[in-house]
Each structure stands twice: as structure tokens, then as C-alpha cells.
């Protein structure tokens, strides 16, 4: 069995309660850190660990923390991004609902390192049932002295609160999240200034993903070097992969970075192969935003190397023949799935979720949805296919936040790798795979 950092106790009955969590060694990292370490020492361990942001961008967490403006005389905020909404991604939900204290312990450690006295867990409103689980766990942590005034007599005090969203994918973008937390529409801000300098209420702020934060207890307990010993050169530690679509065993799996994609798809320990003995057609490896790859390119790079679950291996070949690890939302399509229809659902998603600030995204996503609807319904033309590419190119890079890129990449990649299927829709004037 591969090393499990996040899910090792996930099936233990009663894990959501603090007693069971503590019995399994929970809150030991908080005890150790608050009694024996300084905030800077905590940050140094996180930097050493090589942990990269698990929300999708993969930015080194320790470096993100180092940007925090520590000179200005203002409160600092540490925020957990639990706005999990990227299609195909359901890892944070799994972790947060089954092991809430792990997230809370990570929040305490991160808040201590950054000098935050009030921290928030921003959770998408649809997941209110998990907010309730978290609030119960937070109450327990207060009663046990891990939150509140003068935690474990360390002199450090922290308040932790949950904050529900109202249903908006864009609030997973950190500046939109901050706007939303301030009680506004989730319109992303222009960067710079970055949240590390001007964040929540104009104060220095760090926003990290659930999975990133949940890694902190293990890193602080075992040391940054131990974490960095796991995984690959540029992808340290483990990663939660949420696998769905046409596989025999959908679910959330913790893999050590560097596991071969082929093993992940076909091993009974993970996805268990393609359902009904069908053939693998395509994979969207890191949530709906990342480029789709046909079977041959997700299993092997264009250089013939085995493709691995790591930031660097999945991106071999750039966008011509590679993709991204993204959020770890692993969507598998078998031979019965229509690429155009799948893409249409994504285009509709991004159109629905565009905040509307930037015209290339606001108008472009709706335009792409309409064209894809036309092609899927057999009323498209060859020109439509080129038009889609054209629109996607003019959205990409021309918006305040990455939602525009996220909407453009799936379209461009689907046409790059599956152009014939689009042409078939046009030629047959219907979906060749429609049932």
C-alpha cells in the first residue's frame, strides 16, 4: 500500500469526533508546534516540504506564504478555500466531511505560521451539510482548548469560523472568494495587488485549498524533508485524485505522486479499469478546465514515455500533446462517450459560471455553448469548428481571472485531438454516437 497522509484513517468509525481523532494522533502537530516552534520555523518546514497548492494551480505553498506582508500593521487572515466546484473534482468534499479535524488542525497550524488571529473556511453553499459537520468539530476544538484564547498556554489565540457561499464556481478563484466573503458578488479582482498584500478587508491574506491545508499536520509532525522524500522531483508528497466517469470504481484515491496513469486506471487498487469492458477513449486528468487527452496520449507521452500522475509528467508535450494535473479531478470517457456532447456540458458550465466582468469570457462562453449545441444537434458547419477555435483563442489570456482560460482550453484541446468527431457531426448532421 502506498503512503497515505490524508486518507490513512478515513474509514475509522467516529473519525469526525475529536476523541477518535486524538486517539489516532490528532492534534499532536498543534501540541508540538505551539509548544516548541516559532511561526517562521513552521513556514520554513512547509517551504522545505515542496508542497504545492492542491486547488489546481500547483503554486508552491511555502512561497505563497512568504509573500505575506508581515510589515504592515494590520490583522492578517488565513482562509481555507472549500469552494470545490470544478467538474470532476470531489476530493475536498470527501476529506472535509469524513475528517474535519484534520482540516481544522491544518487551519490552526497555518494561522499560527502566518500570524492570523481570525481564520475562515469558505465552503460552497451547496455543501452546507459539511459546514455543519465542520462547525460541530470546531466547537469540539474550542472545548478542548485548540481554538480560542491562549491555545495550550502558548499565548497564541485563534478564532475559526465557517462561511457558506451562495452557489458560484468563480468564488474558487481566491480574489472572488475574498469579495464573496466580504458580502459581495464574486467578481475577481485585478492583480496586483495580490491578496498577500491586499486581501480580506484590505489586509494581508493567504488563501489555501482544503487538501493543501490538510497536509500541514503531517508535514509539521514528520518534517518537511520527510514529505519531500515522497513523490517526484517537482511533485512532492501525495495527491488526492477524484476519479469518475466510465470506470469500474469511481472514488477518491490518495496516490504518491509519480504513480503511472495506466496503473491508476487499470489497477483494482484504484479505478479498476473501464466499465463493461469497454475501451478507453479519453481522459480529462485534472478537472474540466484542463486539456482532454486521447487514450494514447494520457497513457504515454508523445515521446513514448509512461505518463505519470505528477505535475511535470502530465504537462510533457505542452498543450500540443500534454495536459495538467490541475485539481486531480480525473474524468474518464469510454468509447461510447461523445466528445462534442461532453464538451457542450462544460461550455454550458463555464457560460453559466462566468461572472460577466470581462466581455471575452462573458460573451465568448455563451457563443461557444451555442455553436456546440448546433454541432451536437447536427446543424453545424465545418466553419463552426474553426470558429470555436478562433473564439477560444480570443478568450484565452484576455480576462482578469483564469476562468476564461479554463473555458477555452477544453474547447481547443477537444478539437485538436478529436477534430474528426466534430467533422462527423457536421457530415452526418447528427451525433454519430447518439443513442
Partner 1 sequence: MLEGKNNNILFSDEILELANRIISRYPEGRQKSALIPLLHLAQAENGGWLSPEVMDKVAGFLDIQPIEVYEVATFYTMFNLQPVGKCVIEVCRTGPCWLNGGEELLAHFEKRLGIKPGETTPDGLFTLKVVECLAACGNAPVVQVGITYHENMNPGKADQLIADWSDGKERSHTNPYR
> Helix 339-353 crosses helix 403-428 at what angle (to 10 degrees)?
140
Tell me which stretch binds partner 1 (CB under 8 A): 3-11, 31-39, 131-139, 374-382.
Answer: 131-139
Specify the residue, 26 or 88, whose C-beta has the smaller distance to partner 1.
Answer: 88
Euclidean distance between CA atoms 210 and 96, whole angstroms: 8
Residue 366 found at the interface with partner 1 (CB under 8 A): no
Pick one of 250, 258, 291, 360: the residue that binds partner 1 (CB under 8 A). 250
Q: Smallest distance, Å, CB 150 to partner 1?
A: 20
For the segment 332-361, give every residue that binds partner 1 (CB under 8 A). 333, 337, 341-342, 345-346, 348-349, 352-353, 355
Q: Which is nearer to partner 1, 252 or 368 (CB)?
A: 252
Q: Which residues pair with 80 in a beta bridge?
A: 121, 208
Among 3, 4, 118, 267, the residue binding partner 1 under the rule CB under 8 A is: 118
Closest approach of partner 1 to the CB of residue 346, in Å:
6
Closest CA to 123 of 137, 141, 112, 143: 137
Q: Judged by CB under 8 A, does residue 185 bind partner 1?
A: yes
In angstroms, give the least distance from the CB of 360 to partner 1: 20
Beta carbon nearer to partner 1, 106 or 245: 245
Q: Which CB sits closer to partner 1, 289 or 310?
A: 289
Under the binding rule (CB under 8 A), the answer on residue 248 touching partner 1 is: no
Residues 198-217 that bind partner 1 (CB under 8 A): 201
Q: Quick check: 140 binds partner 1 (CB under 8 A)?
A: no
In the complex with partner 1, the residue whose CB is nearer, 92 or 421, is 92
Shortest Å, Cβ 344 to partner 1: 9
Omega before 105 within 30 of 0, i.e. cis? no
Number of residues binding to partner 1, judged by CB under 8 A: 60
Return the residue of 175, 180, 212, 321 that touches partner 1, per CB under 8 A: 180
**Min separation Cβ 50 and partner 1, Å:** 27
According to CB under 8 A, which residues from 264 to 323 bind partner 1?
284, 288
Which residues, including other chains, have CB under 8 Å from residue 383's CB and lie 6 or more apart? none
Q: Which is nearer to partner 1, 48 or 370 (CB)?
A: 370
Strand order of the sheet with strand 205-209? 159-164, 118-123, 77-82, 205-209
> Which range of residues in 90-98, 148-156, 258-266, 309-317 is near partner 1 by CB under 8 A?
90-98
Interface segment toward partner 1; rule CB under 8 A; list 210-218, 242-250, 259-267, 420-428: 242-250
Residues that bind partner 1 (CB under 8 A): 75, 84-90, 92-93, 118, 124-129, 131-132, 135, 159, 161, 163-169, 180-186, 201, 242-246, 250-252, 284, 288, 329, 331, 333, 337, 341-342, 345-346, 348-349, 352-353, 355
Amino acid at each position: 500500500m502506498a503512503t497515505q497522509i490524508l486518507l490513512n484513517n478515513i474509514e475509522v468509525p467516529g473519525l469526525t469526533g475529536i476523541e477518535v481523532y486524538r486517539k489516532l494522533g490528532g492534534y499532536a502537530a498543534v501540541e508540538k508546534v505551539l509548544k516548541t516552534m516559532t511561526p517562521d520555523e513552521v513556514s520554513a518546514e512547509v517551504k522545505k516540504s515542496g508542497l504545492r497548492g492542491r486547488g489546481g494551480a500547483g503554486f508552491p505553498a511555502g512561497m505563497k506564504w512568504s509573500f505575506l506582508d508581515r510589515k504592515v500593521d494590520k490583522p492578517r487572515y488565513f482562509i481555507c478555500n472549500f469552494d470545490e466546484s470544478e467538474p470532476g473534482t470531489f476530493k475536498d468534499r470527501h476529506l472535509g466531511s469524513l475528517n474535519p479535524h484534520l482540516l481544522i488542525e491544518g487551519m490552526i497550524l497555518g494561522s499560527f505560521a502566518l500570524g492570523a488571529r481570525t481564520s475562515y473556511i469558505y465552503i460552497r453553499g451547496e455543501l452546507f451539510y459539511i459546514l455543519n459537520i465542520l462547525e460541530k468539530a470546531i466547537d469540539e476544538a474550542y472545548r478542548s482548548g485548540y481554538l480560542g484564547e491562549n491555545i495550550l498556554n502558548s499565548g497564541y489565540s485563534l478564532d475559526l469560523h465557517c462561511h457558506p457561499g451562495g452557489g458560484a464556481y468563480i468564488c474558487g478563484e481566491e480574489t472572488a472568494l475574498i469579495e464573496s466573503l466580504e458580502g459581495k458578488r464574486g467578481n475577481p479582482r485585478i492583480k496586483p495587488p495580490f491578496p498577500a498584500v491586499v486581501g480580506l478587508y484590505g489586509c494581508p491574506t493567504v488563501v489555501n485549498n482544503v487538501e493543501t491545508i490538510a497536509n500541514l499536520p503531517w508535514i509539521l509532525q514528520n518534517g518537511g524533508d520527510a514529505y519531500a522524500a515522497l513523490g517526484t522531483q517537482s511533485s512532492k508528497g501525495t495527491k488526492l485524485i477524484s476519479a469518475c466517469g466510465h470506470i469500474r470504481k469511481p472514488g477518491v484515491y490518495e496516490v504518491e505522486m509519480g504513480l503511472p496513469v495506466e496503473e491508476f486506471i487499470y489497477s483494482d487498487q484504484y479505478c479498476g479499469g473501464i466499465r463493461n469492458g469497454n475501451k478507453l477513449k479519453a481522459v480529462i486528468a485534472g478537472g474540466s478546465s484542463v486539456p482532454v487527452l486521447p487514450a494514447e496520449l494520457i497513457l504515454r507521452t508523445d515521446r513514448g514515455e509512461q505518463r505519470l500522475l505528477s505535475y511535470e509528467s502530465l504537462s510533457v508535450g505542452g498543450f500540443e500533446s500534454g495536459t495538467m494535473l490541475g485539481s486531480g479531478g480525473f474524468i474518464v470517457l469510454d468509447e461510447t462517450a461523445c466528445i462534442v456532447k461532453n464538451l457542450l456540458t462544460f461550455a454550458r458550465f463555464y457560460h453559466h459560471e462566468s461572472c460577466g466582468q470581462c466581455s471575452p469570457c462573458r460573451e465568448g462562453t455563451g457563443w461557444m455553448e451555442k455553436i456546440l449545441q448546433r454541432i451536437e444537434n447536427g446543424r453545424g458547419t465545418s466553419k463552426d469548428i474553426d470558429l470555436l477555435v478562433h473564439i477560444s483563442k480570443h478568450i484565452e489570456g484576455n480576462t482578469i481571472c483564469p476562468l476564461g482560460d479554463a473555458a477555452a482550453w477544453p474547447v481547443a484541446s477537444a478539437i485538436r485531438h478529436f477534430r474528426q468527431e466534430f467533422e462527423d457531426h457536421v457530415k452526418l448532421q447528427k451525433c454519430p454516437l447518439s443513442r
